Structure 1
Amino acid sequence: MLRLRKSILTVLLAVFTLLGCVAGPSLSAEKTALVVSVPMEGVVGVSLENYLDEAFAYAAEEKAALVVIGLDTPGGLVTSMRGMSQKILSASIPVAVWVGPPGARAASAGAFLVMAAHVAAMAPGTNIGAAHPVTASGQDVPDKELSRKITNDLAAQMRSLAEERGRNAEVAASMVLNSVSLTAREAMEIRVIDTVTPDLPSLLKWADGRKVRVGTVDVVLDLKRYEIRTFEMSPRLRALHFISRPDVAYLMLTLGILAIVFEVLTPGGFVMGTAGAVMALIGAYGLRMLPFNWAGIILLVAGIIVLVLDLVVGGIGVLSLFGLASLVVGSLVLFRAPGGELLNVSVGFMAGITLTLGAFFILAAGAVWRSTRNRVTSGQEGMVQGEGVVVEDLAPGGFVSCHGEVWKAVSEGGERISKGTRVRVVRTDGLLLHVRKVEGENLEEKGAGHK
């Protein structure tokens, strides 16, 4: 009987041990999956590229199961788009790009990032596409042959990304070739994206159990239990992202150059020059993150210098017109450079800045010109033809009171002029006034007669 009990206990122990070995993986599979949320908003550029690098490093360190990029962009740099697409393609962690929240867009360069993702999703009320290459001013590339080469190159890249992820390659390429833009529902119906979900939890619920290919390995997403951590952009990258916006970089550079030119032409302080140097440096650093044309920089500087010179030389606004023309041309070609084919700069903003500066300088030049026609009423030149009173007999030298000040004076012709006589300034010789007696009564004699 004792032996039978021992045998039963041994069998039960073996069964529980076997069950533990079988159940072990199931229990571990129920662990919470980490999902790293990476919100990306604004122009695709160097700052967002660096942000993506930091997000991927954090996700790898924390052993995340999925990285979700929340995208809302009008487009950006071709170079940054290519770099970010390559990082997504070579990522060791599954990457989902969700265009959201409702009202967001994945235009131009953003469409490439959506195509590169393992999971492509959009929120209702969003749109994707319009990836045809343009100049920074929003116009087509002027050189037809160059435009054809750039367009075909980008279309091939878009087609390749779509084929890699099993999506509709022809429609994806038409976003580049024909500037096709799609709503979220349209994109899902023709297999440009994988799903339409209103928020991140809905996306994770849809993605749970789905298989994606990461590198050469098929990975099944296990998102039954998950924890979402948002990886925010660092303050350094936030500042860089702000100043690398084309409109901000243009404004800082223009105001900085203007302040420096004013400081050089009207020395005597340091506030204007220091502020100008800081703004110019910020603008230059922002331009370093953007494709820019040196000809545009030169035209901007020349235009501002000509505008200021028109004020200095007392022109009538002709130079201001030339300076304004230089400023306009410089603004238009500033961001027209290789790499900026998907960068759309606000032409309205740049036109507003240019017109404001031009109007200011033309009005100021007009005021300077009008002032040169007025009679001088201050300084030594303003004394000529002015009247005064002798305060000390001129024999022929003495002193007169003119414009509320006492001046050393000498009578014209050497005649003696007594105290209290009204005189008129004929000319000046340094600080010496040459005066002539005004015909009339002597003020002192007139006062004595009243007594």
Structure 2
Amino acid sequence: MLAAGLALALATGLAGVGSAAAQEGGGARRSFVNVVQVSGYLDRVLADFLADAVGESERDGAEALVIQLDSPGSVLATAELDALAFRIGHARVPVAVWVGESGAQALGGAASLVLAAPLAGMAPETRLGLVPRPIFGEVPAALRQGTLGPEDALELGVVELNREESAVLGSFIAALDGQEVAGETLRTATFEAVEGGPPRAELTVDARLAKLDLLPRLLHTVASPPVAYLLLSAALVLIVFEFFTAGVGVAGLVGAGCAVLAAYGLAVLPTSLVGLALLALGVFGFAVDVQTGVPRFWTGVGVVAYAVGSLVLFEGVGIGWLPLVAGVVGVVLMMLAGLPATVRSRFSTPTVGRESMIGEMGEAVAEAAPDGVVRVRDALWPARTNRATPIGVGQRVRVIGIDGPLLEVEPEEGGAKDYRERRGSSPPPTGHDAGP
């Protein structure tokens, strides 16, 4: 059978050549099959695409409609999935679903489309299963509780074509020849006997490939869990970044664009409000400590909240470990390294005009050992003491220097009596120090 499959696969290359020759020679129009490629989670964009493909195939008189399927599941509402499966199962044109190429899968709601189609086949090393509930008739327990490979699915009668016949798309189309659907026999290939070998197949139909247009493809991509999550993460970081910069800049505009795209994806996907709230809490925690300039309690809250929120953001669909790690690590690095550096750069410009604060008195609101937070002029500032002795909460301090957004302070008691004295010339020698 494998040799026969290879012979059928060889015919794939002849289909496009035959189509071009027929068109250039102006000969009689050949029969054709429409082929649509479906990948990713089934959403409204793909549902409309498949429904339109069925209708177009019916109107144009296609020999069959072939759906190339590779999907981890469905995010459609129950009624929408049922309507799509019914449309495929009761179309006026034969519909065949090919789970391919090798390594593809049809799980969850996507597996329901395979069961609904009159004809189906699976390429080698593909998986089918985890059917949530029956739509047409009973579903074998093996498909409800787990997944099946091509051989097991054929044995259970879930698919009609074996894995050799479904090895590649051309083989699958050729293997449709002779299959009966609603009393009609499909004609897609001719077979020529070869002495000492399997029959040679040549497609007698043209394959018309259809894909999503640019805008629907963009919306479908945005509605995938990893992309929606990464867009949301980028939007949150860029919007917070914009709050700490002067005016409206590129970060704000890009962040707003990411937020709009992420909002569409979150609206399509089964999004958890708890997950969204945790992500917002995480970013808020980071922003609190960015203002103080010292990672403390709220930074820990931000890390934990953002990591947990990322894990529970979607219900029933997974983000994937690589996007998850990239999102959490990227946000943490930006909040702990990138944003504080930007804040220091902004407030270190000479136009801020804070040199007059030198000599001002304030109060420590967080212990400085040596870094802490002080209140000066009714505002909180990150501070660092220039002495080995820590400054306790509530202790009076004097500003003796400024380094970017950081104030250099010393305790009022035990410090220089006058900040100018520390930076001025040495006092004149007393009589005890003067020479004879």
- TM-score band w.r.t. shorter chain: 0.5 to 0.7
1:358 is matched with which residue: 332, 341, 353? 332
Larger helix share, 1 or 2? 1
Match of residue 161 from structure 2: 195
Once the two structures are superposed, residues 318-358 of structure 1 have per-residue CA deviations (whole angstroms, 9 ceiling, x without a partner) of 1011122222332233212xxxx4x3331453244224433
Read off the aligned partner of 1:189 and give its amino acid letter. E
Tell me the percent identity.
28
Change (3 A) 1:271 1:130: same
CA 1:275 to 1:78, structure 2 compared with 1: closer, same or farther past 3 Å? Answer: closer
The amino acid of 1:82's aligned partner reads D
Which of 159, 183, 187 is the aligned partner of 1:222?
187
- State the match for 2:237 in structure 1: 258
TM-aligned CA deviation for residue 102 of structure 1 = 2.0
Structure 1 residue 116 displacement after superposition: 0.9
Q: 2:143 aligns with which of 175, 191, 194?
A: 175
Give the partner amino acid of 2:212: M
The Cα of 1:66 is off from its aligned counterpart by: 0.5
250-259 vs 368-377, which deviates more?
368-377
Which of 1 and 2 has higher RCO (CA within 8 Å, sep 6+)? Answer: 1
Q: Report what 2:115 is aligned to.
A: 115
CA deviation after TM superposition for structure 1 residue 91, in Å? 1.9
Inter-partner Cα distance in structure 1 for 2:222 and 2:423: 64
Work out the CA distance in 2 between the residues paired with 1:249 and 1:383: 44
Alignment check: 8 A CA contact 1:317 1:365 kept: no
**TM-score normalised by the chain length of structure 2:** 0.66
Matches within 5 A, 1:83-102: 83-102=83-102
The answer for the alignment partner of 1:281 in structure 2 is 260
User: Which residue does the alignment assign to 1:41?
Assistant: 39
Which shows bigger deviation, 41-50 or 200-209? 200-209
Q: In structure 2, give the amino acid aligned to 1:190.
A: L
CA contact (8 A) 2:71 2:107 kept: yes
User: Shift of the alpha carbon at 1:184?
Assistant: 0.8
Write the distance in 1 (CA, Å) between the matches of 2:38 and 2:153: 21
* 1:249-271 Cα deviation digits (max 9, x unpaired): 11111211221122123333421
CA distance in 1, matches of 2:139, 2:425: 99
CA contact (8 A) 1:317 1:362 kept: no
Of 264, 273, 288, 1:309 maps to: 288
Aligned CA distance change for structure 1 residues 427 and 269 (closer, same or farther; 3 Å): farther
Provide the rounded CA distance (Å) in 1 between the counterparts of 2:268 and 2:50. Answer: 16
Alignment deviations for residues 95-126 of structure 1 (CA, whole Å, 9 cap, x no partner): 00011122222223321111111101112232
Going from structure 1 to structure 2, the CA distance change for 1:436 and 1:99 (only over 3 Å counts) comes to closer
Structure 1, unaligned runs of 5 or more: 1-29, 132-153, 164-168, 386-423, 442-451
Contact kept? 2:237, 2:331, Cα under 8 Å:
no
Which range is displaced more, 31-40 or 67-76? 31-40
C-alpha contact 2:99 2:121 (8 A) present in aligned 1? yes
- 1:289-337 Cα offsets, whole Å, 9 max, x none, are 212122322221222122111111334421011122222332233212x
Task: Give, in whole Å, the separation in 2 of the partners of 1:298 and 1:269.
Answer: 26
Which residue identity lines up with residue 204 of structure 1 in the other structure? I
Secondary structure (helix, strand or coil) at the match of 1:195 reads: coil
* Equivalent in the alignment of 2:63: 65
Equivalent residues of 1:47, 1:240 under 8 A apart: yes
User: Residues 206 and 298 of structure 1: is their aligned pair in 2 closer, same or farther, counting only changes over 3 Å?
Assistant: same
Corresponding residue for residue 271 of structure 2: 292
Letter in 2 for 1:90: H
- Unmatched 5+ stretches in structure 2: 1-27, 190-203, 345-370, 373-381, 387-400, 411-415, 430-436
1:183 is aligned with what amino acid?
A: G
The whole-number CA distance in structure 2 between the counterparts of 1:109 and 1:92 is 23
CA separation of 1:309 and 1:377: change in aligned 2, threshold 3 A: closer
Aligned to 2:426: 438
Q: Does 1:241 align with 2:239?
A: no
Distance 1:248 1:382 in 2: 42
**2:241–2:339 CA contact under 8 A, matched in 1:** no
Distance 1:362 1:126 in 2: 43
State the partner residue of 2:134.
156
Which residue in 2 is equivalent to 1:104? 104
SS in 2 for 1:56: helix
Q: Secondary structure at the match of 2:133?
A: helix
Question: What root-mean-square deviation, in Å, do the aligned CA atoms of Structure 1 and Structure 2 show?
Answer: 3.4
Q: 1:55 aligns with which of 34, 53, 56?
A: 53
User: What are the residue-to-residue correspondences of 1:313-352 with 2, within 5 Å?
Assistant: 313-336=292-315, 341=316, 343-352=317-326
| SS of residue paired to 1:114 | helix
- CA gap of 1:98–1:220, structure 2 versus 1, over 3 A, is same
Q: Distance in 2 between matches of 1:328 and 1:286?
A: 20
Distance 2:244 2:335 in 1: 15
d(CA) in 2 for partners of 1:354, 1:96: 42
258 and 83 in structure 1: CA distance in 2 versus 1, 3 angstrom threshold: farther
SS in 2 for 1:124: coil
Contact 1:42 1:73 in 2 (8 A): yes
Aligned-pair CA distance for 1:36 = 0.2
**Which one has the largest radius of gyration?**
1
Q: How far did residue 232 of structure 1 move?
A: 1.9
CA contact (8 A) 2:36 2:210 kept: yes
Aligned amino acid, residue 426 of structure 2? V
Residue 176 (structure 2) pairs with residue 207 (structure 1): yes
Q: Distance in 2 between matches of 1:384 and 1:203?
A: 78
- In structure 2, do the counterparts of structure 1 residues 374 and 83 end up closer, same or farther at CA, with 3 Å as the change threshold? farther
Alpha-carbon offset, residue 38 of structure 1: 0.7
Aligned to 1:444: none
Deviation at 1:434, TM superposition (A): 11
> How far did residue 193 of structure 1 move?
0.7
SS in 1 for 2:42: coil
Q: How far is the alpha carbon of 1:68 from its aligned partner? A: 0.2
Distance 1:382 1:351, change over 3 A: closer
